[in-house]
């Protein structure tokens, strides 16, 4: 009897191996059948214009693992770029919920979800995720940049400044001009003049060439008739940020006249014109000269750098000196046409992205860069 049992053991082992293999084959077949079912259900939902249900089915098909993680991430990012933020959020939330992800993969998924929330306008949720990512010792620079972008979008300038101060020294130095604009934004929102001045000084401490801070201080000084202070600020602007001096021209002559130092104004304009070619500076200087001298100077400038604005001003001066009324009217009519053409053309353009505009924006509406919108140079510009 014992010998019979020993003889049956190999048979039992072989039977067990066969049944196990058969069971695995059956399970694999069932899994394949389920995947095929989900695939065809998803396809039917897509064809019947039910994309939300189709997305759910296709997500079920892609089991999250090291091989399909990038596929899920890219799928969600694609939805966000197409404006389908709700679907992008669902895909990335599904990723984060998987316990099998590595720490690096989870951080990538959380970053993608934060971008989804920002695109959806859910800034509080995005901030919560980004703050969590930034607190990690080995966090990426992208997390810092996204959090800074969020604070700018929500106009939380104090939080943006606090974040920049927490960054490494090299990064703080790189963002110093941007930080100066944050202080200027706080100055714009301040209720008292002293607060405004304090923020402008902080802006200049970050970026000594911040033309915006000089301009705003100069305008306030003129408004309060503090002309000595205004003149000092104008001199600093001409020295530290000469490209932005043009923006002060509507009021630049006021402190010189008030202090009986009118002869110094043309000298300052000539000093600036020695370092930069500008139709605006030329026309401002011409306005201080007699008509014939102004004509000669503008004509000389047009030969070196032709501009529509210079040509228009030259026509006005010629018309003023004409005796024949009919010729004068014809020239004035031509001047009006040129003026309309000038008004139609943008005066400013962002040097980063090319965004055009008729007014100065310190923060580009297109690429969100700071202080990069400048006057257009050339025939139609300055």
What pLDDT score was predicted for residue 66? 55
Distance, in Å, from the CA atom of 212 to the CA atom of 253, rounded to the nearest integer, reads: 19
Query: In this structure, are strands 356-357 and 373-375 parallel, antiparallel, or unpaired?
Result: unpaired
172-176, 239-243, 248-252, 309-313: least confidently modelled range: 309-313
The half-sphere exposure of 67 on its side-chain side, counting CA atoms within 13 A, is: 2
* pLDDT exceeds cutoff 80 at 330: no
* pLDDT exceeds cutoff 60 at 31: no
Residues 6+ away with beta carbon under 8 Å from 105: 69, 95
Residues 6+ away with beta carbon under 8 Å from 182: 157, 160, 161, 164
User: Could you tell me which residue, 348 or 6, shows the higher pLDDT?
Assistant: 348
- Stretch 241-267: mean pLDDT: 92
Residue 92: other Cβ atoms inside 10 A = 27
* pLDDT exceeds cutoff 60 at 37: no
Local structure of 12: helix, strand or coil: helix
What pLDDT score was predicted for residue 35? 45
User: Where residue 13 falls among pLDDT bands split at 50, 70, 90?
Assistant: low
* pLDDT exceeds cutoff 70 at 215: yes
Whole-structure pTM value: 0.79
Place of tokens 């026309």: 283
User: Where residue 58 falls among pLDDT bands split at 50, 70, 90?
Assistant: low
User: Where residue 40 falls among pLDDT bands split at 50, 70, 90?
Assistant: very low
* pLDDT exceeds cutoff 90 at 362: yes
Q: What is the CA radius of gyration of the chain?
A: 34
- Stretch 167-193: mean pLDDT: 94
Give the largest CA-CA distance in the chain.
140
Distance, in Å, from the CA atom of 128 to the CA atom of 132, rounded to the nearest integer, reads: 6
User: Could you tell me which residue, 215 or 104, shows the higher pLDDT?
Assistant: 215
User: Could you tell me which residue, 337 or 155, shows the higher pLDDT?
Assistant: 155
Distance, in Å, from the CA atom of 95 to the CA atom of 77, rounded to the nearest integer, reads: 13
Angle 311-375-245 from CA coordinates, rounded to 5°: 95
Please say whether the beta carbons of 356 and 349 come within 8 A.
yes
User: Where residue 240 falls among pLDDT bands split at 50, 70, 90?
Assistant: very high
Q: Which two tokens stand for residue 273?
A: 């014109």
User: Could you tell me which residue, 280 or 70, shows the higher pLDDT?
Assistant: 280
């Amino acid at each position: 009897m014992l010998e019979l049992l020993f003889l049956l053991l190999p048979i039992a082992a072989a039977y067990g191996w066969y049944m196990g293999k058969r069971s695995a084959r059956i399970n694999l077949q069932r899994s394949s059948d389920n995947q095929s079912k989900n695939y065809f259900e998803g396809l039917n939902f897509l064809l019947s214009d039910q994309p939300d249900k189709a997305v759910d089915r296709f997500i079920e098909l892609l089991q999250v693992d090291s091989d399909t993680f990038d596929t899920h991430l890219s799928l969600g990012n694609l939805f966000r770029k197409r404006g389908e933020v709700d679907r992008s959020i669902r895909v990335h939330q599904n990723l984060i919920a998987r316990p099998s992800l590595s720490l690096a993969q989870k951080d990538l998924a959380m970053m993608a979800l934060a971008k989804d929330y920002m695109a959806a306008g859910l800034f509080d949720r995005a901030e919560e995720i980004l703050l969590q990512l930034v607190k990690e010792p080995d966090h990426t620079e992208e997390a810092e940049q996204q959090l800074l972008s969020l604070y700018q979008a929500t106009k939380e300038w104090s939080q943006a400044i606090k974040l920049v101060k927490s960054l490494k020294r090299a990064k703080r130095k790189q963002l110093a001009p941007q930080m100066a604009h944050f202080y200027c934004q706080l100055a714009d929102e301040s209720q008292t003049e002293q607060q405004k001045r304090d923020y402008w000084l902080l802006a200049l401490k970050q970026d000594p060439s911040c033309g915006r801070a000089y301009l705003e201080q100069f305008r306030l000084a003129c408004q309060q008739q503090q002309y000595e202070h205004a003149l000092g600020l104008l001199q600093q602007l001409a020295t530290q940020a000469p490209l932005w001096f043009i923006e002060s021209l509507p009021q630049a002559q006021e402190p010189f006249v008030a202090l009986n130092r009118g002869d110094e104004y043309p000298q300052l304009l000539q000093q600036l014109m020695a370092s930069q070619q500008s139709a605006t500076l030329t026309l401002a200087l011409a306005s201080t000269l007699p008509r014939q001298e102004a004509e000669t100077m503008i004509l000389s400038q047009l030969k070196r750098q032709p501009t529509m604005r210079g040509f228009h001003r030259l026509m006005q001066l010629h018309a003023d000196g004409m005796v024949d009324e009919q010729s004068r009217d014809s020239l004035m009519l031509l001047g009006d046409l040129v003026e309309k053409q000038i008004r139609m053309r943008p005066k400013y353009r962002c040097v980063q992205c090319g965004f055009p505009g008729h007014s100065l924006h310190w923060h580009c509406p297109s690429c969100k860069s700071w202080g990069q919108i400048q006057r257009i140079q050339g025939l139609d510009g300055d």
